[in-house]
């Protein structure tokens, strides 16, 4: 007989085990879906998860894809750890890209070592400005940050639309919705000849190190943790809640803004309507799959990045619909949430009595 | 005996045909990159119909759907070029820069970019359709069928392609009915059934009894069906989605061009070019005309179609005035392709301003 028993305390081991379990269950369920669709499950999984990163180029593309996901997820972990539900990283990414792209366009056809740092900084500031809206509304007007940050995503995309269709569109571009190409001085340097992986990866790695330090070595990290467990306790301890809320939103916005900078000054090299395939939303999955832990987030961003690449390879070589990539992302989150049940409950097998 | 002869003749013809096809098909592999899902019944769907025509001609094809115009497009293109594809069709404007970038790295692979203008390397061609010719037909029908003299038009983005369509449509409608007004709603999307339906609803509420669209979903014709007004299918024959509302559709017919270009690659005769085909070359096709239209209108449309095909009639024949009354095209002249490619002003009779 099977019995479900509540745990006295959430299990620490299970806490880090469930993401692995979720990935495993996703692979099993994915294989099953491939089988039902009439594809050979193991071959399909091979094309999905191994073939795309089997060579140097593929591996560099994996890192390229994981960079914005990791960066945004690290930022989000500041918010999520302290009970602030910033769902609008996609908007902060977009607005960061707008500000940094605008600065890059100001330096059109100019060269100089100082241009790139200004462009990068502009992106971080843009993301922070945009993230400060839900933060200020939450702290001073008690609005719901989930709704505000989410709605602002659509606003940012409309602003981007307006700019690339209208005032910022390429004067030589027949009114198509895109800006001019940025000058080389406004673009992130490539790390290897012939590969697209760029210096933005160092921004992501720096964010990982800094976040680890803040989470585990500083008073602020402790405050965030306490607020995350219990807002009442935090209040009782006399923490300045408002300041912290604004700070975590600013950090989160800066990271998302930098991810936007990485895209437009890296592989894209201009502003147009579609600069991110919803990295800001996918990074929410990454943050939770990584258990809001900096190292966990690195692994999680690589796992989720490969679902993008795998979906393309699987369609090219096996004619599997590309949208299965999104199914995989959804399944990972679903199984993670489902297996979190094991954190609080355990399954007991009891011999049946006669 | 006769029958036997004919039969063996036919079967040998079929045999020869199959052999040639097989010989050609041996090597060349074509790839298609789509912006949307193949089931959108609009833009991507029609490109996929074209791809199937290439398959039917005996060539192997691959496609990747839902490729965003973000940094991902370049990777997909490079993967296709790297995996034995000889010609790659990139079917959305936003693939223009990645297409040229990857083309530089793979000089032996041919690239065909739809609706763009950059051909930076000798292995890049561009192609587009003169959809505005189809809109001349739609305008003629709309101007005749409207009772309220208000025609609604759901537009996507203020780019020359779309402005040209609005103008061509309005000029044709004015020709048959000088009192008509074209009201525009900008949906700022190519494909979003929810937004498109809303836009159509807004136009119907403002008294439009014929709705034209330059967005890709079937939501508008379905909304028109519900409201009891007329509409036109976009990209594919949308009659089955709204049998009462749809008077006809302008179909994008890419198949002949695709087959032609893939064959050229196979024969080694492929060369760089910029193709802009209309009704005459069969890239723009007018679907069956609905029987709700009076017989004389139908025969008039048939004739107009033939005249557009032969070049006897041009969609932009002067005198054409802009909204302020300035002359755009003088009497007896027609707009040249340069003017059409950069068209960013409304003609007289269109209401509102182009969003800036």
pLDDT at B130: 95
Above 60 in pLDDT, residue B25? no
Residue segments in chain A with a per-residue pLDDT below the cut of 50: 354
Structural domain contains residue A18: no
**Is the dihedral angle over the CA atoms A146, A293, A274, B234 positive or is it negative?**
negative
Q: Are residues B64 and B205 in the same domain?
A: no
Residue B274: enclosing H or E segment and its boundaries? strand B274-277
Tell me the pLDDT tens digit for each residue of A118-136: 999 999 999 999 999 999 9
Q: Are residues B101 and B168 in the same domain?
A: no
Q: Is B94 touching A (CB cutoff 8 A)?
A: yes
Residues 6+ apart with CB under 8 A from A180: A105, A108, A170, A171, A172, A173, A270
Tell me the pLDDT tens digit for each residue of B244-262: 999 999 999 999 999 999 9
The total domain count for chain B is: 2
Q: Are residues B97 and B153 in the same domain?
A: no
Q: Tell me whether residues B94 and A166 touch, CB distance under 8 A.
A: no
Distance CA A259, CA A90 (A): 10
Distance CA A47, CA B240 (A): 38
Structural domain contains residue B292: no
Q: Tell me whether residues A321 and B65 touch, CB distance under 8 A.
A: yes
Above 70 in pLDDT, residue B24? no
Structural domain contains residue A221: yes
Q: Are residues B238 and B264 in the same domain?
A: no
Structural domain contains residue B10: no
Tokens of B42: 């609009």
Q: Are residues B331 and B200 in the same domain?
A: yes
Q: Is B159 touching A (CB cutoff 8 A)?
A: yes
DSSP string, B101-118: HHHHH-TTSEEEEES---
Q: Are residues B29 and B108 in the same domain?
A: yes
Q: In a 10 Å sphere around its CB, with 0-12 CB exposed, 13-18 middle and 19+ buried, how is residue A342 labelled?
A: middle
Pick from A235-239, A292-296, B35-39, B295-299: least confident: A235-239
Mutation pick from B51, B70, B162, B189 vs chain A, by most beta carbons of A within 10 Å, is B70
Tell me the pLDDT tens digit for each residue of B187-237: 988 888 999 999 999 999 999 999 999 998 999 999 999 999 999 999 999
CB count in 10 Å sphere of residue B291: 9
Structural domain contains residue B75: yes
Above 50 in pLDDT, residue B137? yes
pLDDT at A196: 93
Distance CA A156, CA A153 (A): 5
Angle at Cα B211 formed by Cα B209 and Cα B212, nearest 5°? Answer: 150
Residue B210: enclosing H or E segment and its boundaries? strand B210-213
The 8 Å CB, 24+ separation contacts for A235-240 are none
Structural domain contains residue B287: no
Question: What would the 3-class secondary structure string for chain A be?
Answer: CEEEEECCCCCHHHHHHHHHHHHHHHHHHHHHHHHHHCCCHHHHHHHHHCHHHCCHHHHHHHHHHHHHHHHHHHHHHHHHHCCCCCCCHHHHHHHHHHHHHHHHHHCCCCCCCCHHHHHHHHHHHHHHHHHHHHHHHHHHHCCCHHHHHHHHHHHHHHHHHHHHHCCCCCCCCCCCCECCCCCHHHCCCECCCCCCCECHHHHHHHHHHHHHHHHHHCHHHHHHHHHHHCHHHHHHCCCCHHHHHHHHHHHHHHHHHHHHHHHHHHHHCCCECCCCCCHHHHHHHHHHHCCCCHHHHHHHHHHHHHHHHHHHHHHHHHCCCCCHHHHHHHHHHHHHHHHCHHHHEEEEECCCCC
A98: domain CATH number is 1.10.3470
Q: Are residues B125 and B136 in the same domain?
A: no
Closest CA to B66 of B36, B90, B95, B88: B36
Please compute the mean of the pLDDT values over residues B263-284 and round it to a whole number.
Answer: 95
β-sheet bridge partners, residue B126: B113, B274
Nearest CA in chain B to A159: B188
Contact A264, A275 (CB under 8 A): yes
The boundaries of the domain holding residue A108 are: 68-321
Indicate the average pLDDT of chain B: 90
Structural domain contains residue A127: yes
From B65, B71, B342, residue closest to A268, measured CB to CB: B71
Q: Are residues B164 and B184 in the same domain?
A: yes
Structural domain contains residue B143: yes
Above 70 in pLDDT, residue B11? no
Q: Are residues B248 and B330 in the same domain?
A: yes
Q: Are residues B336 and B215 in the same domain?
A: yes
Distance CA B232, CA B201 (A): 15
Q: Are residues B193 and B153 in the same domain?
A: yes
Structural domain contains residue A234: yes
CB count in 10 Å sphere of residue A319: 12
Above 50 in pLDDT, residue B23? no
Residues 6+ apart with CB under 8 A from A241: A139, A227, A231, A234, A235
Terminal C-alpha separation, chain B: 74
Structural domain contains residue A291: yes
From A181, A276, A319, residue closest to B70, measured CB to CB: A276
Q: Is B166 touching A (CB cutoff 8 A)?
A: no
**At A56, phi and psi to the nearest 5?**
-60, -45
Within 8 A of B67 by CB-CB distance, chain A residues are 312, 322
Q: Are residues B199 and B212 in the same domain?
A: yes
Q: Å from B249 to nearest chain A CA?
A: 26
* Of residues B26 and B192, more confidently modeled: B192
The total domain count for chain A is: 1
- What interface predicted TM-score (ipTM) does this complex get? 0.85
Helix axes B131-145, B295-310, angle to 10 degrees: 160
The boundaries of the domain holding residue B218 are: 132-252+316-341
**Chain A contacts in chain B segment 182-241 (CB below 8 A):** 188
Q: Å from A177 to nearest chain B CA?
A: 8
pLDDT at B22: 46
The radius of gyration computed from the CA coordinates of chain A, to the nearest angstrom, equals 22
pTM of the predicted model, to two decimals?
Answer: 0.86
Chain centre distance of CA A309: 16
B211: domain CATH number is 3.40.50.2300
pLDDT at B10: 52
């Amino acid at each position: 007989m099977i019995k479900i028993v509540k745990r006295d305390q959430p299990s620490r081991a299970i806490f880090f085990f469930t993401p692995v379990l979720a990935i495993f269950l996703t692979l099993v369920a994915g294989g099953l879906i491939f089988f039902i669709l009439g594809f050979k499950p193991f071959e399909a999984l091979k094309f999905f998860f191994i073939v795309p990163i089997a060579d140097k180029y593929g591996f560099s593309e994996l890192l390229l894809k994981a960079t914005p996901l990791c960066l945004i997820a690290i930022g989000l972990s500041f918010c999520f750890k302290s009970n602030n539900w910033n769902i609008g990283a996609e908007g902060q990414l977009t607005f960061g890209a707008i500000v940094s792209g605008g600065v890059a366009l100001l330096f059109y056809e100019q060269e100089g070592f100082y241009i790139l740092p200004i462009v990068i900084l502009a992106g971080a500031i843009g993301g922070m400005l945009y993230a400060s809206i839900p933060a200020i509304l939450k702290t001073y007007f008690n609005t719901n940050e989930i709704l505000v940050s989410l709605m602002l995503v659509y606003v940012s995309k409309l602003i981007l639309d307006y700019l690339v269709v209208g005032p910022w569109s390429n004067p030589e571009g027949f009114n198509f919705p895109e800006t001019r190409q940025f000058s080389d001085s406004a673009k992130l340097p490539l790390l290897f000849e012939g590969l697209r992986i760029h210096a933005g990866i160092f921004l992501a790695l720096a964010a990982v190190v800094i976040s680890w330090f803040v989470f585990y070595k500083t008073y602020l990290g402790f405050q965030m943790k306490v607020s995350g467990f219990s807002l009442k306790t935090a209040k009782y301890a006399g923490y300045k809640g408002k300041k912290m809320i604004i700070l975590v939103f600013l950090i989160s916005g800066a990271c998302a803004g930098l991810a936007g900078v990485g895209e437009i000054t890296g592989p894209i090299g201009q502003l147009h309507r579609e600069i991110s395939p919803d990295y800001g939303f996918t990074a929410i999955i990454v943050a939770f799959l990584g258990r809001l832990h900096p190292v966990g987030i690195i692994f999680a961003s690589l796992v989720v990045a490969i679902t993008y690449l795998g979906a393309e390879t699987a369609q090219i070589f096996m004619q599997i619909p590309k949208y299965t990539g999104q199914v995989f992302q959804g399944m990972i989150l679903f199984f993670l949430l489902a297996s979190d049940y094991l954190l609080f409950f355990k399954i007991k097998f009891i011999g049946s009595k006669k | 005996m006769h029958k036997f002869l004919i039969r063996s003749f036919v079967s040998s013809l079929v045999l020869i045909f199959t052999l040639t096809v097989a010989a050609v098909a041996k090597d060349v592999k074509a790839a298609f990159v789509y912006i949307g899902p193949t089931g959108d019944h609009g833009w991507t769907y029609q490109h996929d119909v074209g791809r199937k025509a290439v398959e039917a001609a005996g060539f192997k094809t691959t496609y990747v759907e839902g490729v965003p115009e973000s940094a991902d497009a370049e990777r997909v293109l490079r993967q296709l070029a790297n995996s034995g594809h000889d010609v790659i069709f990139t079917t959305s404007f936003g693939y223009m820069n990645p297409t040229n970038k990857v083309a530089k790295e793979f000089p032996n692979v041919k690239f065909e970019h739809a609706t763009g203008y950059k051909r930076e390397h000798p292995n890049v061609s561009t192609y587009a359709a003169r959809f505005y010719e189809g809109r001349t037909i739609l305008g003629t029908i709309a101007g005749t069928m409207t009772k309220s003299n208000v025609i609604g038009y759901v537009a996507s983005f203020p780019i020359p392609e779309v402005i040209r369509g609005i103008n061509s449509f309005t000029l044709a409608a004015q020709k048959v009915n000088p009192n008509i007004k074209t009201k525009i709603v900008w949906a700022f999307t190519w494909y979003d059934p929810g937004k498109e339906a809303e836009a159509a609803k807004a136009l119907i509420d403002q008294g439009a009894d014929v709705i034209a669209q330059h967005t890709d979903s079937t939501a508008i014709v379905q909304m028109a069906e519900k409201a009891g007004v007329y509409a036109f299918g976009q990209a594919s024959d949308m009659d089955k989605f709204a049998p009462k509302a749809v008077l006809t559709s302008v179909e994008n017919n890419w198949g002949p061009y695709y087959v032609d270009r893939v064959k050229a690659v196979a024969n080694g005769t492929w060369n760089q070019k910029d193709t802009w085909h209309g009704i005459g070359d069969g890239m723009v096709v007018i679907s069956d005309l609905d029987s709700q239209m009076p017989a004389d209108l139908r025969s008039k449309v048939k004739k107009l179609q033939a005249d557009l095909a032969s070049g006897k009639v041009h969609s932009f024949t002067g005198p054409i005035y802009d909204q302020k009354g300035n002359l755009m095209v003088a009497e007896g002249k027609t707009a040249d392709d340069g003017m059409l490619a950069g068209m960013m002003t409304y003609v007289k009779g269109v209401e509102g301003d182009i969003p800036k």
